[in-house]
Amino acid sequence: MYMLSRGFKPFPVIERDKRPLVKDWQQWANRASRGLISTYALEEVDYNWGILPAASGHLVLDIDSGYKLKNKRVIKAIGDKSLARLEEEHGKLPETFTVRTPSGGEHRYFKGTCRPTQSVLGKHIDTRSEASYVVAPGSTCHTIDGKGNKIKGTYTIINDVEPAECPEWMLGLLTRKVEVKAAPNCLAVSKLDTESNIAEAMEFLASAPLCVEGDGTHGGEYLLNIFMELRDRGVSQEKAKTLVLQNYNDRCDPPWELTDEHHASHFHKKLHNAYTYAKNPIGIKTEEARTAAAQSDFMDAAISPAVTESNKPIPLHWANEINPRKTPKRKVIMRERYMAGTVTAIVAQGGLGKSTLTMTDSAGIVTGKSLTGFEVVTKGRVWIYNLEDDADELRRRFEAIFKCHNLPIASMGDIAFTSGVDDPLLLATSGRDGAKINKEDVNRLIETIQQNNISILFLDPFSRCHTAKENDNSEMNVVMSALAEITKRTGCAICIVHHASKAGTSKDADPSDQGIGRGASAISCAVRCCQNLAEMKPKEAEDRGIPPEDRHLYFKLVDAKANLYVKKSDCTWYMKKSIQLENGESVGAIEWVDLPSLSECKNQIEKVDQGEEVLKFLREHLSGGDTMPLGRLQEIAEQRDLAALKGVKNITTFQRKLAAFLADSTEYYFTRGLKNAWQISREDVI
């Protein structure tokens, strides 16, 4: 509970162990709440707990300074000495939230995120952040002493302060890219690194036989089989390395020490050989590969129907064979905005703020922060292809956005941008025979997305990436088919930033109309999600208390089309700001703002009043340290005729309603009492 109150995201771990208790531990941590934690914390089993650092915007420096077994010998880890050398070269690390591990090492928490690393900063110094975790303070685990005896230890907080900002020099070292030789001409039969592929790969690693030095069958050479199995399961070469280091390596005897030249050479040789010389197509063992038909050549499929053999039947999937347990989840990048493998359109008139909005979206996607008012579900790499501004202007605009939202530039290593002024892009051209795909540029896009593991590509503006006739449905169908095929082949999401038509910019235009974009209807029909931007109208400003002279600073985002979720009737508001750069220039940025109407404010005030009434009621009947059965509390509420909690007969509904009023309170919490009945407790604050 304490770590949750500090803003960290916990999840349950097996008792006296470091392994997650729940399979979907990343999703579990992201939705962690006091009530959810209570269901595990109050069971008879004394579970350990883990922390997902990246979910709260943190990374953890794991400094191993205890004893460990290597080749059946007790050795002393030298993480403390490696740290001393690191600080001698770069300067002392700032004071930060620190946990002592059972073996005598340290977990130092910092603000900022990075990929998990092993010994990049020095021998026996690892980092945990994205797609990785650490064991939380208060948990217990077994370790060994200097004589090899098994002892029990506890993770203990030794410096209870706010986490410090991660030094830029450290982030720079952690984000250095290592060149990995690509595997030759092995065409994937399925998308790589999907959520289901990763889940199956982790399940395999959890039960796979371990590499043990000197054991012929499972000796060091067995690592090649591990990598080949991950390759067959649809895991990319880079991701396979990460998964093995995080979920397999520590249990091997001995683990692969990548700071050791011999170990690193052997490890990377096996990884390279597995992805270079394997005969099976990559992803051959995935569910998708077992059921999908062979895909036709991209360019032929993008322009004309594929030619098939007359005796080759069209594959059919029967509805009664659906297995709910194996239905893959959609890979959502930003909820109700962007989804992997689909095309989204953002439509607005010129100068309203659509480019700044999508650039701010990109910063949110790589940090996991809700900068534009929408939840980031899956963090990833972003590529902005701006076809109007030069590279220097894009640098200025990003600098303003990072400064506006207090984001350190050093932590933005997963945002890439390209200027169409310097490197033009044409996906399709128009000629006498209609629109044709520009194979060279389309292939460049696909290769760049795959090589750099891009999650989402922004094309801004859409009209500059083709010369097809914008008002011709047949020609625009060719362009949109090319985009759809790119998303299909790469698994990448694409967002097209599109201009509104003249009718779409009129004062009578409906911003929820998917047809206000410029050009043929083929554009809006092809995208799965379309959202329009509109400036604030005089009546909207008046209803929200915005002075007429400031109305031009506000604009809204409205759902116009939502194929993959329920279309929302409300809107999201943004305010334009002027940010001064270090060079003295002023550049525009935007902030998401909550602008409820007067009627909404009234409802909010009533809810606040009811919340205060509930708190007053609880304080009258529960002193610090007291506990009361929920059934008894419900009876008292009925007797008191308490309006906020009146008329609720079901105890579960009563608990949920009460929990909603206590969502921001750390004073009260729910526990299990006699016969597993729910009760409410109040903390005894000294």
Q: Omega into 12 within 30° of 0, i.e. cis?
A: no
Residue 304 clears pLDDT 90, i.e. is over it = no
Report whether 558 contacts 512 (CB < 8 A): yes
Between CA 122 and CA 85 the distance in angstroms is: 9
Give the other-Cβ count within 10 Å of 273's Cβ: 15
Looking at residue 53, the DSSP 8-state letter turns out to be G
Given a cut of 80, whether residue 125 has pLDDT beyond it is yes
Q: Tell me: the pLDDT tens digits for 640-655?
A: 878 777 777 788 888 8
Contacts of 649 (CB under 8 A, 6+ apart): none
- Which residues pair with residue 106 across a beta bridge? 63, 100
| Model confidence band, residue 603 (pLDDT cutoffs 50, 70, 90) | low
Cα distance between residue 34 and residue 31, in whole Å: 10
The CATH class that applies to domain 332-595 reads alpha beta
- The pLDDT-based confidence of 174 (bands split at 50, 70, 90) is confident
Q: What percent of the chain has pLDDT over 90?
A: 37
Q: What's the fold here for domain 2-174?
A: Prim-pol fold (3.30.2250)
From 235, 229, 232, 240, select the one nearest 268 (Cα to Cα). Answer: 240
How high is the pLDDT of residue 218?
A: 66
- Of 108-122, 299-313, 658-672, least confident by mean pLDDT is 299-313
C-alpha–C-alpha distance, residues 315 and 298, integer Å: 19
Q: Which residues pair with 134 in a beta bridge?
A: 51
pLDDT tens figures, 104-119: 999 999 999 887 887 8
**Among 367, 3, 371, residue whose Cα is nearest residue 166:** 367
Task: Confirm if 304 and 485 have CB atoms less than 8 A apart.
Answer: no
Length of the chain: 686
Element (H or E) spanning 678, and its range? strand 678-682
% of the chain exceeding 70 in pLDDT: 90
Residue 479 has pLDDT above 90, yes or no: yes
- H/E element holding 133? none
Banded pLDDT at 267 (limits 50, 70, 90): confident
User: Long-range pairs for 652-661 at CB < 8 Å and ≥24 separation?
Assistant: 654/630, 655/630, 658/614, 658/630, 658/633, 659/35, 661/610, 661/611, 661/614, 661/615
Q: How far is the first Cα of the chain from the last one, in angstroms, to the nearest whole number?
A: 17
Whether 147 shows a pLDDT value over 60: the answer reads yes
pLDDT at 40 over 80: no
Q: What is the DSSP string of 398-452?
A: HHHHHHHTT--GGG-TTEEEEETTTS---SEEEETTEEEE-HHHHHHHHHHHHHH
Give the burial class of 238: count Cβ atoms within 10 A of its Cβ; 0-12 exposed, 13-18 middle, 19 or more buried: middle
pLDDT of 604 = 66
Average pLDDT over residues 374-392: 94
**Residues paired with 530 in a beta bridge:** 345, 561
What is the rounded distance in angstroms from the CA atom of residue 329 to the CA atom of residue 334? 14
pLDDT digits (tens, 9 = 90+) for 242-255: 998 888 888 888 88
What's the pLDDT score for residue 99? 95
Q: Please tell me the distance from the alpha carbon of residue 658 to that of residue 653, in angstroms, as a whole number.
A: 8
Predicted structure pTM score: 0.49
Where is pLDDT greater, at 523 or 657?
A: 523
User: Is residue 553 within 8 Å of residue 576, measured between CB atoms?
Assistant: yes
Say yes or no to pLDDT of 499 above 60. yes
- Work out the burial of residue 270: count CB atoms within 10 Å of its CB; fewer than 13 is exposed, 13-18 middle, 19 or more buried: buried
Q: Are 230 and 192 in contact (CB under 8 A)?
A: no
| Phi/psi of residue 592, nearest 5 degrees | -70, 130
SS (H, E, C) 625-662: CCEEEHHHHHHHHHHCCCHHHCCCCCHHHHHHHHHHHC
The rounded distance, in Å, linking the Cα atoms of 119 and 417 is: 30
Mean pLDDT, rounded, for 329-335 = 92
**What is the average pLDDT score of the chain?**
84
Alpha helices in 292-374 (DSSP H): 298-303, 354-367
Class of domain 599-682: mainly alpha
CA distance 528 to 533: 17
For 277-294, give one letter per residue: b (16+ CB within 10 A) or e. Answer: ebeeebbbbbbebeeeee
Chain CA centroid to CA 639, Å: 47
Burial per residue of 221-230, b for 16 or more beta-carbon CB atoms within 10 angstroms, e otherwise = ebbbbbbbbb
Report the C-alpha gap between 16 and 142 in whole angstroms.
7
E runs forming strands in 461-563:
493-499, 529-535, 554-562
Is residue 298 within 8 Å of 489, Cβ to Cβ? yes
The residue ranges of every structural domain in the chain are 2-174, 195-289, 332-595, 599-682
Each residue's pLDDT tens digit, 80-99? 998 998 999 899 999 999 99
Q: How many CB atoms neighbour CB 5 within 10 A?
A: 9
